Amino acid sequence: MLQSRTMTDMPAEQERERRLDRIRRLSRSMATGCLVTSGLLVAAMLSYWVMTPTRALFVQAGIMHGPAAEIGLAIRALAFGISMVPLGALIYGLLSARRCFDAFAAGRIFASEPIGRLKAFSIAVAASALLKPLAGAALSVLLSFSNPAGAKTLSLHVGSDMLIALIFAGTVAVIAWVMAEASDIADENQQFV
């Protein structure tokens, strides 16, 4: 037996629709932000390796002994490639988040697609955080390779930013997991109706 909606249900329904509309608008903005940020990150990394003076590159890589001459374009290109490994993982995560927000904007909030994209985002952020110190170590070896014996460097940096990124990724992963469980429960409840 179907029940007709009463007048008192309408304000609650309208309020819910207003909330969903805010979610859609914010999700569209976030999707755009993820795409723009991805492009800006690549452009910034490229400009860093093209424009930064050699001495500054060595200091940032934790190399005490600077080179006698400027490093060449080939070394800069290799360094850019190494730097893009953790950044590429992060960009993959941002593009996954973009697809998640696109699904939210389309009204698919507890569907499997956005939940899967949210999981992919969390894994990519964790991978990027774990790869960053390894890429830094590889960069220190690459940049100091032409230094004389005793001045070659292997520098490994593990900082609080890595730990915070891992905690953030874990938090997002748990939220995605909870969303998946909520979706399964909702599906089971619909089967009883």
| pLDDT tens column, 95-120 | 999 999 999 999 888 888 999 999 99
Tokens of 122: 């969390």
Q: Specify if 2 maps to a domain.
A: no
pLDDT more than 90, % of the chain: 59
Contact 96, 124 (CB under 8 A): yes
Tell me, yes or no, whether 167 lies in a domain.
Answer: yes
Q: Is residue 68 part of a domain?
A: yes
Neighbours of 68 (CB within 10 A): 9
Total domain count, the chain: 1
pLDDT at 118: 95
Reported as type and span, the H/E element at residue 39 is helix 9-51
Range of the domain at 172: 11-192
Instruction: Examine residue 1 and state whether it is found in any structural domain, yes or no.
Output: no
Residue 49 within any structural domain of the chain? yes
Please report, rounded to a whole number, the percentage of residues in the chain having pLDDT higher than 70: 90
Place of tokens 């950044």: 87
pLDDT value at residue 4: 52
Is residue 6 in a domain? Answer: no
- Whether 5 maps to a domain, the answer reads no
